[in-house]
């Protein structure tokens, strides 16, 4: 008959053996799956980020990951080294010849329902934002997601001014979202009527991200302007 | 309000992204134990208590997992810890506060398979909250759960007296009510931005 | 539930999960994913398949081990087994498509606390032979998937005017946005339950009328 019908109490040893055995079996299975799926998952992530970067920086063909730490600029491989929370991470995108086309970085702000996470593209030549791509958002379908399709809204990002102030410590003008139809300056974003809060979140995310990254980045633009391969000494040091 | 501030995190979990009505977590007790107002209260309190405990333990376990770089075991660890936390709470309560145990005891085993608890632990890890933020998040989520289940119980008690067609009795009408409640809570979206 | 192991597999073993004991419409189990991810057909399908996979694997293992697991630690064992298969599913979905993974969000991992799976383990897999458990679990999984699909298609059709991403009503359709938002989930499921209640009642009253006519 089934064990559930048996009134006999199992010994503690049996319990421990069962639990331990099952735990070991499950550990084995999970580790195996993790090992097998690691490569395709990383590949998927790389494709997704590259797609977003090439979308926000027109003409880009290849990219490198960088981070700004207390020590300065450093190229790094996110697969090998993990960035600290305080590091400013960004991507430098180059065309086929290895000329710098732009900088892409992640940013986020509170939207209507939840955080709106995006990647924006910065063009150091015109000191302006060239575009953005949403990584994740849960805004109202049909209203909030207009930020991806509304042409007048996207036209804001043809050349959104993000030039630095004279002392290079901050943005000259904070990027701000204004009410639909009242855009006057190059650093203003014309909101979509009916999706003001989501439009504002996009502006806020880009402003906060740019304010943090761009002033610190400006001394290094020269250094980044040519595609660099990871210096061998540095690559070895990471092994 | 900055989205990382403790007050906003609380408000977010409490109203804007209410665990039950906007994120669909913890629906089993929400539909199952919302028949009477005072049982709904007890269920809400018990859930909040377990939420707090599991949120704190999940925070420390995650630190440990990240330290050893074995994040892929996160889910198994969380569920095991939540299940044992519930058991521990049950035993402690039985020993030190039999009155409270009598009121909340029967709900505790149910809470283990309440997705709001595991969801809370997973979301706080996903959002990279520190200890204070996690605490604010779990209190907010607990308060939001109490609010939702108590509102629902109040409505259903009134509904007992209403003259309903037979067809719509039971779960069907409860779901419709929940839909209307959820519609109301959508009004909180956009708060604080 | 009979205590003696009954090894006969009838059509009912399979069909009971689809209709008579449908986990969503009849037993109201595993509601969280049912409502949360059914805002489009493709999400509903992915969730249904993932849950079925976890259900099948965990029932198989539990049914095989049913005589070895002491009664006192059975729930803990079941949960560990279920969590293992959920973690595996989680990684496999990430490897297949990150887009799908982002759309389903944390609800893949929350399959662990889907009461339907633990319920099956406790009530069926721990008492029945492997083959019978498999057939029953498959039925349950298909029933669950059908329920998800019936919600997902209604919500996507009304809320987005499309099915599986293809536009159905054309440009002129003004989408009923609330249907893909949280309230729509509650209301559509409520409406399905109303429909089933009404059908059941009609059947009962028809049967009653027939009986009355004969006697």
Contact assignment for A30 to B72 by CB distance below 8 Å: yes
Contact assignment for A141 to C160 by CB distance below 8 Å: yes
Chains with ≥3 CB–CB distances under 8 Å to C: A, B
Model confidence band, residue C153 (pLDDT cutoffs 50, 70, 90)? very high
Residue C60 clears pLDDT 70, i.e. is over it: yes
Domain count for chain C, please give it: 1
The pLDDT tens digits for A125-161 are 888 888 888 887 777 766 777 788 888 888 888 878 8
Q: Which whole number is the average pLDDT over A13-41? A: 88
Residue A190 CB partners (closer than 8 Å, separation 6+): A152, A153, A156, A178, A180, A181, A182, A183
Give the one of A5, A37, A140 whose C-beta lies nearest to C94's C-beta: A37
Contact assignment for B25 to C32 by CB distance below 8 Å: yes
Q: What is the pLDDT of residue A10?
A: 62
Task: Give the Cα separation of C87 and A28 in Å (integer).
Answer: 12
What token pair was written down for C17?
């999960």
Residue C208 located in a structural domain:
yes
Residue A29 located in a structural domain:
no
Of the ranges A93-97, A162-166, C23-27, C193-197, the best mean pLDDT one:
C193-197
Model confidence band, residue C53 (pLDDT cutoffs 50, 70, 90)? very high
Give the rounded percent of residues in chain C with a pLDDT score beyond 70.
95
Give the one of B117, B119, B178 whose C-beta lies nearest to C186's C-beta: B178
The rounded radius of gyration (Å) of the Cα atoms in chain B is: 18
Residue A2 located in a structural domain:
no
Q: What is the pLDDT of residue B192?
A: 63
3-state secondary structure of C109: helix
Q: What is the pLDDT of residue C148?
A: 92
Please tell me if residue C125 touches chain B, with a CB cutoff of 8 Å. no
E strand segments, C38-196: 162-163, 166-167
E strand segments, A31-87: 62-69, 72-75
Residue B15 clears pLDDT 80, i.e. is over it: yes
Q: Exposed, middle or buried, A55 (CB in 10 Å: 0-12/13-18/19+)?
A: middle
Residue A55 located in a structural domain:
yes
Q: Residue holding tokens 């960035």?
A: A83
Task: Give the Cα separation of A134 and C102 in Å (integer).
Answer: 12
Q: What is the pLDDT of residue C176?
A: 82
Residue C6 located in a structural domain:
no
- Name which residue leads in pLDDT, C59 or C166: C59
Residue pairs between chains B and C whose CB atoms are closer than 8 Å = 115
Residue A28 located in a structural domain:
no
Q: Which whole number is the average pLDDT over A66-73? A: 78
Model confidence band, residue A80 (pLDDT cutoffs 50, 70, 90)? low
Model confidence band, residue A83 (pLDDT cutoffs 50, 70, 90)? low
Give the rounded percent of residues in chain A with a pLDDT score beyond 70.
86
Residue pairs between chains A and B whose CB atoms are closer than 8 Å = 30
ipTM for the whole complex: 0.84
Residue A63 clears pLDDT 90, i.e. is over it: no
Chain A residue with CA closest to C174: the answer is A142
3-state secondary structure of C120: helix
Domain count for chain A, please give it: 1
Residue B75 clears pLDDT 60, i.e. is over it: yes
The pLDDT tens digits for C63-107 are 988 888 887 778 888 888 999 999 999 999 989 888 888 878 778
What's this model's pTM, rounded to 2 decimal places? 0.82
Chain A residue with CA closest to B16: the answer is A113
Q: Determine the structural domain holding residue C152 and report its residue range.
A: 14-167+174-214
Q: Exposed, middle or buried, A62 (CB in 10 Å: 0-12/13-18/19+)?
A: middle
Please tell me if residue C47 touches chain B, with a CB cutoff of 8 Å. no
Q: Determine the structural domain holding residue A62 and report its residue range.
A: 42-238
What token pair was written down for B114?
């309440």
Residue C2 located in a structural domain:
no
The pLDDT tens digits for B131-160 are 999 999 999 999 999 999 999 999 988 888
The pLDDT tens digits for B163-187 are 888 777 778 888 889 999 999 988 8
Residue C43 located in a structural domain:
yes
- Name which residue leads in pLDDT, A223 or A105: A105
| Cβ atoms < 10 Å from Cβ of A9 | 11
Q: What is the pLDDT of residue A79?
A: 66
Q: What is the pLDDT of residue A92?
A: 85
Q: What is the pLDDT of residue A2?
A: 41
Give the one of A34, A109, A200 whose C-beta lies nearest to B72's C-beta: A34
Chains with ≥3 CB–CB distances under 8 Å to A: B, C
Q: What is the pLDDT of residue A189?
A: 85
Residue A20 located in a structural domain:
no
Q: What is the pLDDT of residue C85?
A: 93
CA distance C21 to chain A (A): 23
CA distance A90 to chain B (A): 19
Q: What is the pLDDT of residue A182?
A: 78
Residue A4 clears pLDDT 70, i.e. is over it: no
The pLDDT tens digits for C159-198 are 888 888 788 777 777 778 888 888 899 999 999 999 988 8
Task: Give the Cα separation of C83 and C61 in Å (integer).
Answer: 13
Please tell me if residue B179 touches chain C, with a CB cutoff of 8 Å. yes
Contact assignment for A34 to B189 by CB distance below 8 Å: no
Model confidence band, residue A175 (pLDDT cutoffs 50, 70, 90)? confident
Residue A235 clears pLDDT 50, i.e. is over it: no
Cβ(C127)–Cβ(C11) under 8 Å? no
Give the one of A26, A111, A197 whose C-beta lies nearest to B76's C-beta: A26
Give the one of B22, B72, B193 whose C-beta lies nearest to A110's C-beta: B193
Q: What is the pLDDT of residue B144?
A: 94
Please tell me if residue C208 touches chain B, with a CB cutoff of 8 Å. no
């Amino acid at each position: 008959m089934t064990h559930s019908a048996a009134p006999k109490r199992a010994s503690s040893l049996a319990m421990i053996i069962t639990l331990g055995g099952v735990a070991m079996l499950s550990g084995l299975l999970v580790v195996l799956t993790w090992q097998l799926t690691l490569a395709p998952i990383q590949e998927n992530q790389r494709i997704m980020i590259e797609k977003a970067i090439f979308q926000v920086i027109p003409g880009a063909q290849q990219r490198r990951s960088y981070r700004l730490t207390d020590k300065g600029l450093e190229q790094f491989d996110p697969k090998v080294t993990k960035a600290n929370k305080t590091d400013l991470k960004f991507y430098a995108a180059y065309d086929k010849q290895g000329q710098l086309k732009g900088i892409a970085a992640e940013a986020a702000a509170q939207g209507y329902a939840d955080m709106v996470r995006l990647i924006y593209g910065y063009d150091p030549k015109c000191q302006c934002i060239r575009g953005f791509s949403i990584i994740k958002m849960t805004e109202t379908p049909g209203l909030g997601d207009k930020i991806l399709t509304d042409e007048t809204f996207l036209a804001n990002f043809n050349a959104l001014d993000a030039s630095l102030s004279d002392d290079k410590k901050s943005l000259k003008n904070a990027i701000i979202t204004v009410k639909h139809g009242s855009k006057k300056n190059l650093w203003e974003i014309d909101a979509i009527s009916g999706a003001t809060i989501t439009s504002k979140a996009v502006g806020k995310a880009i402003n906060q991200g740019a304010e943090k990254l761009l002033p610190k980045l400006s001394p290094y633009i020269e250094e980044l302007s040519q595609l660099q391969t990871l210096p061998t000494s540095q690559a070895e040091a990471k092994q | 309000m900055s989205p990382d501030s403790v007050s906003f995190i609380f408000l977010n979990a409490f109203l804007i992204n209410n665990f039950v009505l906007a994120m669909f977590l913890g629906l089993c007790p929400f539909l199952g134990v919302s028949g009477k107002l005072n049982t709904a209260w007890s269920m809400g309190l018990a859930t909040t208590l377990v939420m707090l405990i599991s949120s704190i333990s999940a925070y420390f376990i995650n630190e440990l997992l990240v330290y050893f770089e074995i994040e892929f075991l996160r889910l198994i660890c969380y569920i095991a810890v939540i299940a044992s936390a519930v058991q521990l709470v049950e035993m402690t309560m039985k020993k030190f506060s039999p009155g409270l145990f009598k009121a909340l005891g029967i709900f505790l085993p149910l809470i283990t398979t309440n997705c709001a608890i595991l969801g809370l632990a997973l979301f706080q890890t996903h959002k990279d909250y520190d200890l204070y933020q996690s605490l604010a998040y779990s209190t907010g989520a607990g308060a939001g759960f109490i609010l939702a289940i108590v509102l629902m119980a109040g409505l259903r008690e009134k509904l007992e007296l209403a003259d309903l067609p037979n067809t719509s009795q039971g779960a069907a009408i409860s779901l419709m009510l929940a839909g209307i409640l959820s519609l109301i809570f959508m009004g909180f979206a956009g708060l604080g931005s | 539930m009979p205590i003696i192991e009954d090894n006969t597999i009838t059509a009912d073993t399979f069909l009971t999960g689809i209709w008579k004991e449908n986990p969503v419409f009849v037993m109201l189990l595993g509601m969280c994913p049912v409502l949360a991810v059914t805002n489009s057909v493709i999400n509903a399908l992915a969730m249904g398949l993932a849950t079925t996979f976890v259900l099948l694997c965990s029932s198989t293992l539990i049914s095989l081990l049913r005589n070895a697991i002491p009664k006192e630690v059975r729930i803990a064992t079941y949960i560990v087994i279920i969590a293992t298969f959920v973690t595996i599913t989680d990684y496999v979905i990430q490897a297949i498509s990150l887009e799908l993974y982002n759309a389903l969000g944390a609800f893949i991992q929350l399959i662990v606390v889907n009461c339907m799976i633990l319920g099956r383990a406790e009530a069926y897999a721990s008492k029945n032979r492997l083959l019978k458990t498999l057939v029953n679990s498959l039925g349950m999984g298909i029933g669950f998937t059908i329920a998800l699909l019936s919600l997902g298609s209604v919500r996507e059709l009304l809320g987005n005017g499309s099915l599986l991403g293809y536009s159905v009503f054309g440009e002129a359709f003004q989408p009923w946005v609330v249907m893909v938002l949280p309230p729509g989930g509650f209301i559509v499921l409520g409406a399905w339950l109303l429909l089933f209640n009404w059908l059941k009642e009609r059947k009962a009253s028809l049967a009653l009328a027939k009986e009355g006519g004969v006697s």
